[in-house]
Amino acid sequence: MAANYSISDLARELDITTRAIRFYEEQGMLAPERRGQERIYTAKDKVTLKLILRGKRIGFSLAECKELIELYDPAGGNRKQLETFMDKISERRAQLEQQLLDIQQMQLELDTAEERCLAALEQTQA
């Protein structure tokens, strides 16, 4: 028998809020079975949530996560999904490298401003 989860079970296991899970459902990323007001999530839903959370941790937008999840095709070997994932990884890495350069430049500018302030302070004491 396949594993089923309530919304609170998933929230507890994945350390997220039930509101976050409902949000992903509203975005069309999850489609749990309904029994009255109760949501019943499958193991596939749990994997989808894990992928969303992993994507968010590495800086992917929700739209990018959704795109990657929608490309999942076990019959096709997932080649398209993996190629798209690799492209997004390269894009994200390039963004991070640019951010790092920007931070390093800002640190140099701060160092220069600090040196000028210290020199000006020394002159006011003389």
List, edge to edge, every strand of the sheet that includes 38-42.
4-5, 38-42, 33-35
pLDDT digits (tens, 9 = 90+) for 74-118: 777 788 889 999 999 999 999 999 999 999 999 999 999 999 999
DSSP class of residue 4 equals E
Same domain flag for 2 and 64 = yes
Instruction: Assess whether 45 and 89 both reside in one domain.
Output: no
- Structural domain containing residue 108: 80-126
Q: Total domain count for the chain? A: 2
Mean pLDDT of the chain: 92
d(CA 4, CA 32): 10
Length of the chain equals 126
**Same-domain check for residues 121 and 85:** yes
C-alpha dist (Å) from residue 64 to 45, 71, 113, 119: 17, 11, 39, 49
Kindly report the backbone phi and psi dihedral angles of residue 59, in degrees, each rounded to the nearest multiple of 5, phi listed first: 95, 10
Residue 61 lies in a domain: yes
For the entire predicted model, the pTM comes to 0.76
